[in-house]
Amino acid sequence: MAGRKIGFRSDEDFPDKQRVAWENTKRAIHARYPCYGYNLGIPEYYVVNGYDEGGYYFVGIGTDDWQWKVSPASAKLLGSGIVNAEVRQLAGSLGVEFSENVIIHTNGGVYELLDDRGNSLTVAGEAYLPWDRLATVHIGLLEMFWIEPGVTSSDRETVKDALSFALEFAQSPQKWVYDGYKAGLDAYDNFIRGFAQDRHQGFGLSINAEAWTECREMAGPFLREARDRIGGSVSERLLKAAAIYDAIHEQMRGVRDLFPFYGRNPEDMRDKDRISRAVAHLERAKELERKGLHELEQIVCDL
């Protein structure tokens, strides 16, 4: 069972929500419950693994063991808004050529660098955030979660519930999907239209390609584990669905490789051949997704 505290910086009671999140997180850590929250570093989710009297310690993208790390002197300059030669050299080694206009966002000692051409890079920091800094940068979303023991469902019930939710989500219900966004098959059409419309930087397209590729990469292993756990009459359908989602992952990986999020090149958005190949991958993925959703529907019915 998950507990959480959520809010926005624009809320009138935002300071109160920050404090409640802080007190609840400390209480959960003392109870040895896993904790995680949003944007302790960059706008991603982090595991909170400790605290002191002033703030949170955390691990995740951009923390001390992160491979993209610079010297303390360069990190200090980043904290002052200065990108020096060492940072530019690191970026270049990763295929990121920054312009002269670089904006530095920092939260929890993790540095996110963005330039006016759409290039980005995350540089390691100290992985510590004062509790009253939580949700004060970027979009100002406050989310802190902890996981408590709860009732355990059977493997069969868990798989059925998970696939039922996936099928519901694929219909773009308003309670889950924001206006202007789509899920399921319609989401592929949105993605394809994006390549026709977003010719400036491609930030949204590349981050979606990265996220979708990871999601579809996990689908096949999930379905195969479900087959191993519950077996029976749905075994063959679970394996068939797993193979379909493996194939979707390959198509999405093709999009990601053409428009990578890390080392993104805004010039790629003007490459008609590259765009055409990405769209072809998405069209094939959409047709495979149609078959995959059909298999999931049959599996849920059988369960």
Task: With respect to residue 295, please indicate whether it lies within any of the assigned structural domains.
Answer: yes
Q: What is the pLDDT of residue 1?
A: 47
**CA–CA distance, 169 with 246 (Å, rounded to integer):** 20
Beta-strand relationship, 102-107 and 120-123: unpaired
Interhelix angle 155-169/203-230, nearest 10 degrees: 150
Is the domain of 47 the same as that of 141?
A: yes
Is the domain of 111 the same as that of 132?
A: no
Give φ, ψ of 22 to 5 degrees.
-65, -50
Is the domain of 80 the same as that of 33?
A: no
Task: With respect to residue 66, please indicate whether it lies within any of the assigned structural domains.
Answer: no
Radius of gyration of the chain, Cα coordinates, nearest whole angstrom: 22
Task: With respect to residue 161, please indicate whether it lies within any of the assigned structural domains.
Answer: yes
pTM: 0.74
| Distance, C-alpha 168 to centroid of its chain | 21
Cβ atoms of 55 and 129 within 8 Å: the answer is: yes
Give pLDDT tens digits for 248-300: 999 999 999 999 876 677 778 888 999 999 999 999 999 999 999 999 999 99
Distances (CA, A) of 14 to 19, 21, 44: 9, 10, 20
Is the domain of 119 the same as that of 196?
A: no
Give pLDDT tens digits for 151-168: 888 999 999 999 999 999
Strand order in the sheet with 120-123: 102-107, 110-115, 120-123
Is the domain of 159 the same as that of 139?
A: no
**CA–CA distance, 277 with 253 (Å, rounded to integer):** 12
Q: For the chain, what is the domain count?
A: 3
Q: What is the pLDDT of residue 120?
A: 76
Is the domain of 85 the same as that of 133?
A: no
Is the domain of 141 the same as that of 159?
A: no
**CA–CA distance, 196 with 207 (Å, rounded to integer):** 17
Is the domain of 166 the same as that of 286?
A: yes
Give pLDDT tens digits for 128-152: 889 999 998 878 899 999 998 888 8
C-alpha torsion sign, points 12, 13, 19, 22 = negative
Contacts 24+ apart (CB under 8 A), 202-208: 202/118, 202/259, 202/264, 202/266, 202/268, 202/269, 203/118, 203/120, 203/264, 205/259, 205/269, 206/256, 206/259, 206/260, 206/261, 206/264, 207/261
Is the domain of 51 the same as that of 181?
A: no
Provide the domain limits for residue 175: 155-302
